[in-house]
């Protein structure tokens, strides 16, 4: 018997996770290490038991369920996503990939199939970074969380290790969360969180790379003054300068440049209708799947900033944060996803992921790939986040087929083992 | 003996008023109808008594001191300014013109001079509009405050008449604050609150008009979305649209257009670095001393707004408030001020006032003129607001001379009596 996704079970479980929320439906709020997170983790352990899988919560809070492989020495094929949401998020971001990973285990169990590799389903903790720095779970797996981070005070005034301990985790055993054996492959299934698949009516996205990201802050200091009595030529208007820089940032995106460039935050002081702005602080966010493009964009922004300073008599500080480098998906896994979709009669589209994901963190230790399904209207991080049921089922079918194919494609003694 | 400004008394009294403040020096906070306002009003009544002037606080809180005229039927020559400040304001805005008005009375008294017209010194209440709508005192004098306004709830949750009553005023006698006889002329002395006189090193400004003002709000609705996953071509970025409109507003000022045009307030929602702005609300403030120019500017802004809507797929509401029309100063009074300055050996400059003033409200009932002195660095509404002592004394001397000249220039049976 060939393993099959149980559509009803998949959809019911997505609904069951969505109901474990600190906010009224349809919004879902399930922050890492909270009571809601713990309740969801317990449900995953229960589902794992029903699928005959060994399951545990690791020291930092990743929920892991594993079906052993026919060959005992092989590193696992890993699939999963994150269990936490943003405040007032949707039912699919993270949860969909988690439920699908557990569904893969269940379908293999139902069909009595054992792959050569172990299959490891993971529900990563704190991907969103609402409670602490993002990607805590996946970073812990590859050794990128240290004791200093655990001792750091978080937004609610407690240290991260206090938060973890109170949630029943074992932060003192941090390093036992690492996977010294790595993984044979990592495949994450996720909603696109953007409008590309939905608007082009393609059901499957094959992620080529998780884009690099350069965030930063711009602070503009002009001179606050009376809006009625200060002649235009004698102004140092921080908001007019900021307006030029908002448009300059937008212009950093385009062919041969960044994919996207955004100013989402802008704060004006003193912020009164009859007072010329004396100070503006604003964000910028530049993303590209191609190395060096965000660096070039920051250089260009620096030049535009100098122009604005000299023409407007303002002072501008440009403060880029440490960039996140783009991470390319493994070409073999990309091909395998594309072939799996095709075998299931589903059209697919190669595309970068503009958002960061746990699988790109794991790329340090393992080849990774990523499958997208359409987000209706491109909406995410909102209660109205949705994907048609058929597309959710199709995505899980592609994931299952892809993992089964990878199990044979990735050969003993290959580069990745 | 010819009346003379007593420089030491003038400067000492400016200092005395500045010390009546709810905030630590050098900032001055003396809001209308507060304990500080009452203390300052009592001081003005005491100074009036020392100058042999009849003095009272009118029903809404204007402090009035009057030296009778030689001819009993004439309407008064009026001078004065406002006693209230903005929170954290400076020592001169309003207070300077009040002290100078009282100094005019004192100098006439000291010299034993009685003019043909009564001379009325006024300290208007709530010009700044911090406690309630602005210009309460001057509007009451010309019958522009009604019972509905008095019954209106103010920012602190009390009605305006409650606030007035608790300060010892008689809001029920509102209409007794009106001046049925009008005024022979109104001359207000004020700091420029802008950089023009200071930067051109001219000691006296002759105000040609108080500019018309068109304020309003712009609301831009785009679509909040993920800054990483939404392609540039599929965005409806409310902040990028707002940036274009900030620059469009700035561009409404120029030769043949408005004098000044400002966006001072801009608020972004949701305002996160990694979320495309879904909504922006912003202010605009357009000023011109020439009728119709602000109207033309609003029309142009409407056209630019339509362009931005169509190119960016956003919706924009443009909501202009009721405009304040420009009010021209009386040509005879302008000439009289200019001649007075010249006779005192002081250069003067004709200029519009970009800020509103009580005298422009009184222009409904009387011809008005206005004298400016330099604001160091153009700073106002701040504790560092300053004018050199010599310029403060010169301004008061111009005021005194101007009133004495007007007393003879304005003839019996003239258009204004």
- The answer to whether A263 contacts chain B (CB < 8 Å) is yes
Nearest Cβ partner of A265 from B246, B272, B354? B272
Going by DSSP bridges, is the β-strand pair A119-124/A77-82 parallel, antiparallel, or unpaired? parallel
Mean pLDDT of B224-238: 94
Q: Is A260 helix (H, G, I), strand (E, B) or coil?
A: strand
Task: Tell me, yes or no, if the two domains A7-211+326-409 and A212-320 fold the same way.
Answer: no
Instruction: Identify the pLDDT of residue A322.
Output: 86
pLDDT at position A103 over 70: yes
**So what's the pLDDT on residue B417?**
39
Q: How confident is the model at residue B412 (pLDDT cuts 50, 70, 90)?
A: very low
**pLDDT of amino acid A411:** 64
B231 interaction partners in chain A (CB closer than 8 Å): 194-196, 259-260
Q: Identify all chain A residues contacting B262, using CB atoms and an 8 Å cutoff.
A: 227, 237, 273-274, 276
pLDDT digit string, tens, across residues B310-368? 999 999 999 998 888 999 999 999 999 999 999 999 999 999 999 999 999 999 889 99
User: pLDDT tens-digit profile of B1-51?
Assistant: 789 999 999 999 999 999 999 999 999 999 999 999 999 999 999 999 999
- Name which CATH class applies to A7-211+326-409: alpha beta
Could you tell me if A271 lies within 8 Å of chain B, comparing CB atoms? yes
Q: Residues A21, A91: contact at Cβ < 8 Å?
A: no
Burial A36-54 (b: 16+ CB within 10 A, else e): bbbebbebbeebbeebebe
Contacts of residue B8, defined as CB under 8 A and 6 or more positions apart, other chains included, come to none
Under DSSP, is residue B64 helix (H, G, I), strand (E, B) or coil? Answer: strand
Q: Determine contact: A205 vs chain B, CB below 8 A.
A: no
Query: SS3 of A67, please?
Result: strand
Identify the pLDDT of residue B253.
Answer: 98
Domain ranges across chain B:
7-211+326-409, 212-320
Tell me which of A264, A320, A377 to substitute to probe the interface with B (most B C-beta atoms closer than 10 Å): A264
* pTM of this structure: 0.86
Give the containing element (helix H, strand E) for B63.
strand B63-67
pLDDT of residue A410: 86
**Residues A257, B182: Cα–Cα separation, whole Å:** 69
Residues in chain A within 8 Å Cβ distance of B237: 250, 262
Q: For the domain bounded by B212-320, which CATH number is listed?
A: 3.30.70.360
Rounded to the nearest angstrom, the minimum Cα separation between B208 and chain A is 14
Contact with chain A for residue B15, Cβ under 8 A: no
Residue B394, chain A, CB below 8 Å: the answer is: no
Could you give the percent of chain A with pLDDT greater than 70? 98
Chain B (276-335) residues lying within 8 Å, Cβ to Cβ, of chain A: 276-277, 283-285, 287
CB < 8 Å from B in window 330-389 of A: 353-356, 378-381
- Judge residue A154's burial from the number of C-beta atoms within 10 Å of its C-beta, 0-12 exposed, 13-18 middle, 19 or more buried: middle
Compute the half-sphere exposure of residue A89: CA atoms within 13 Å on the CB side of its CA.
Answer: 25
pLDDT of residue B411: 64
Task: For residue B415, name the pLDDT band (cuts at 50, 70, 90).
Answer: very low
Does residue B414 surpass a pLDDT of 80?
A: no
Asked if residue B184 lies in contact with residue B119, where contact means CB atoms within 8 angstroms, the answer is no
pLDDT tens profile A366-388 = 999 999 999 999 988 889 999 99
| B268 closest CB neighbour out of A237, A244, A265 | A265
As a whole number, mean pLDDT of residues A257-275 equals 94
Percent of chain A with pLDDT over 90: 89
Please report which confidence band the pLDDT of residue A230 belongs to, taking 50, 70 and 90 as the band edges: very high
Question: Nearest CA of chain A to the CA of B283: how many Å?
Answer: 6
Give the residue from B273, B349, B377, B384 with the most A CB atoms within 10 Å of its CB, the best one to mutate.
B273
Distance separating alpha carbons of residues A394 and A386, to the nearest angstrom: 15
- If you write DSSP's letter for every residue of B196-260 in order, what string do you get? HHHHHT-SEEEEEEEPEEEEEEEEEE---EETTTS-GGG---HHHHHHHHHHHHHTTBSTTSBSE
């Amino acid at each position: 018997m060939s393993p099959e996704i149980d559509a009803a079970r998949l959809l019911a479980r997505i609904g069951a996770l969505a109901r474990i929320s600190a906010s009224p439906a349809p919004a879902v709020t399930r922050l890492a290490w909270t009571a809601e997170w713990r309740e969801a983790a317990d449900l995953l352990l229960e589902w794992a038991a029903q699928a005959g899988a060994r399951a545990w919560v690791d020291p930092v809070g990743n929920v892991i369920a594993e079906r052993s492989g026919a060959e005992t020495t092989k590193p696992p094929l890993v699939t999963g996503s994150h269990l936490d949401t943003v405040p007032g998020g949707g039912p699919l971001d993270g949860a969909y990939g988690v439920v699908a990973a557990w569904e893969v285990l269940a379908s293999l169990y139902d069909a009595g199939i054992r792959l050569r590799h172990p299959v490891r389903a993971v529900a990563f903790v704190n991907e969103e970074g609402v409670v602490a720095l993002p990607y805590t779970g996946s970073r812990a797996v590859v050794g990128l969380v240290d004791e200093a981070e655990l001792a750091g005070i978080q937004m609610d005034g407690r240290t991260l290790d206090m938060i973890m301990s109170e949630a029943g985790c074992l932060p003192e055993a941090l390093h036992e969360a690492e996977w010294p054996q790595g993984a044979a492959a990592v495949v994450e299934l996720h909603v696109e969180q953007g409008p590309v698949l939905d608007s082009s009516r393609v059901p499957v996205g094959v992620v080529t790379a998780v884009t690099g990201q350069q965030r930063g802050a711009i602070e503009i200091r002009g001179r606050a003054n009376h809006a009625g009595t200060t002649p235009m030529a004698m102004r140092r208007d921080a908001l007019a300068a900021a307006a030029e820089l908002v448009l300059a940032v937008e212009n950093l995106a385009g062919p041969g440049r960044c994919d996207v460039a955004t100013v989402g935050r802008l704060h004006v002081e003193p912020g009164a209708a009859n007072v010329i702005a004396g100070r503006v602080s604003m964000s910028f966010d530049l993303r590209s799947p191609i190395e060096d493009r965000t660096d070039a964009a920051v250089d260009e922004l620096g030049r535009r900033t100098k122009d604005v300073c000299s023409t407007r008599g303002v002072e501008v500080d440009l403060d880029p944060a440490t960039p996140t480098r783009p991470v390319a998906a493994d070409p073999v896994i990309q091909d395998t996803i594309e072939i799996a979709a095709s075998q299931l009669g589903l059209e697919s589209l190669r595309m970068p992921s503009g958002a960061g994901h746990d699988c790109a963190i794991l790329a340090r230790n393992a080849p990774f790939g990523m499958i997208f399904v359409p987000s209706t209207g491109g909406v995410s991080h909102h209660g109205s986040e949705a994907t048609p049921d058929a597309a959710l089922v199709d995505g899980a079918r592609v994931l299952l087929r892809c993992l089964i194919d990878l199990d044979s494609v990735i050969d003993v003694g290959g580069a990745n083992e």
